[in-house]
Amino acid sequence: MSSRNKNNSVIIPFLIGTLASFAVNYYLNNRKTVDEFIKQHADKILKKFIKNYKRKQSEDDSIPNDCPGIDSENAGKSRACDGCPNRKICNDPELKKQKENEKNQIFNEIQENLKNVKYKILILSGKGGVGKSTIASQLAFALSHLNYDVGLLDIDICGPSIPVLTKTIDSDVNYGINGWIPIYKNNLSIMSVGYLLPNFDDPVIWRGPKKNGLIKQFLCDVYWKNLDFLIIDTPPGTSDEHLTICSYLKDNLDGCLIVTTPHILSIYDVKKEIEFCKKTNIPILGVIENMFQSIFVSNYTVQNMCSDMNVDYAGHVTFDQNLIDACHQGIGCCDIDKNSTSSKEIFSICKFLAQKIYAKYSHQIDHIEPQQLTTDQTPIDNTDQNDNNNLPQEKSENNQLDETQNIMTENKDLSKTQVLEKIIRDVVSIVDEK
């Protein structure tokens, strides 16, 4: 081994020296030709570098704040485009056609991946800190408690809260044959950027294109299976994430719920969110008043605002101890006590949600009483494990498990409208229960 290494240490420098001498001799004999070749190609490389550099600078620094974006119909035509160096690019019909084809391809991929999701609901807010993620997670837990298959997608890329509220911070996302496998809690499927970080406390400092790419992956590459509901938790305000999700889902969104608090600042910010939804054609199902209190009420209430903006008031959620405990434990408040104030308020919002979507599809919900909805199924026993003491002694845990499995199997066979009818009926039995 030592002799071979010694030979290599002699041969390699010899070969390098020989090649170098050949190169020098060739250059000396053909100096004029080599100089012309280098000059010609160096000019081309330099010009290409300068062109790319200028384009990058113009993209980074010269894009107006009010730029409508290359995907917009107003690209290259709006007042904000005056003086923009990229105006010609935005007006390029070939580039527009290419972008449109790419956009349609993504849309078709998403549509194919989500074809077995019955309903897709956005949860929005005008400002941060109003409890939007809390409402999103509790609605998901409530529907899951009623034995429906629910997906909870967190697209708040820079501030993911869902892993905390579901107590799944330490969970890891795996990649299977069909794509990314979400985190499961019983019949609740969860996906968030928080699961993809090396450390959950690491900040996510991403620009728009990278955020958009991840949202596309969440919609295209996550194996959601068959879902009754996909609840999508969004960042506060109006940002790239909102525009992206609207662009990708197009007309496949069933609507949004907007969360606010009774505080006057939050109420006025919600007005902006409502206008955003109207401009982007997102159906507004209603406004939820979180952290509700019956005292110290503002003169301009959430219900006043809903009346002024011509949107429905979906209900309120009281921030009681049961809800606080549920958030700390990463479960639904209905799993602790389904008869608590906050649990019944959440269930009432589930009923409102089902009624609004039902009205959208059938336009008959206003004339149908919940007890008139026909079904061949018996009422569901929604009692969870914490209420076992209230059950008859002869009913075993195995029987309860079998009953839940049977209900979930029955739910899988329900049509889109039957799912909504069943939710309304189930929730009425819970909310009216003393």
Q: Convert 219-234 into a string of H (helix), E (strand) and C (coil).
A: HHCECCCCEEEEEEEC
CB 247 within 8 A of CB 257: no
Residues 148 and 68 in one domain: no
Residue-wise pLDDT for 119-135, tens only, equals: 999 999 988 889 999 99
Residues 41 and 163 occupy one common structural domain: no
Q: What is the dihedral of CA 162, 166, 170, 172, to 10 degrees?
A: -70
Each residue of 169-179: pLDDT tens digit? 988 888 888 88
In angstroms, rounded to a whole number, what is the distance separating the alpha carbons of residues 8 and 288? 77
For 263-280, the DSSP string reads SHHHHHHHHHHHHHHHHT
Question: Which pLDDT does position 5 carry in this prediction?
Answer: 55
User: Both 172 and 301 in a single domain?
Assistant: yes
Regions in the chain scoring below 70 on pLDDT: 1-10, 34, 39-80, 82-83, 85-92, 295-296, 363-413, 433-434
Question: Using a CB cutoff of 8 Å and minimum separation of 24, what contacts does 355-361 make?
Answer: 355/420, 355/424, 356/255, 356/285, 356/286, 356/312, 357/119, 357/254, 357/255, 357/285, 357/420, 358/417, 358/420, 358/421, 358/424, 360/254, 360/255, 360/283, 361/416, 361/417, 361/420
Residues 81 and 133 in one domain: no
Full-model pTM: 0.70
Strands of 278-345, DSSP E? 284-292, 313-318
**Domain C-terminal end among 327, 348, 369:** 348
Its domain, for residue 283, covers 117-348
- Same domain? For 159 and 74 the reply is no
374 lies in some domain: no
In this structure, the answer to whether residues 279 and 201 fall within a common structural domain is: yes
Residue 357 covered by a domain: no
In a domain, 67, yes or no: yes
| pLDDT score of 299 | 82
What whole-number distance in Å separates Cα of residue 109 and Cα of residue 218? Answer: 12
- In CATH, what number is assigned to the domain containing residue 179? 3.40.50.300
Q: Examine the domain organization and report whether 270 and 313 are in the same domain.
A: yes
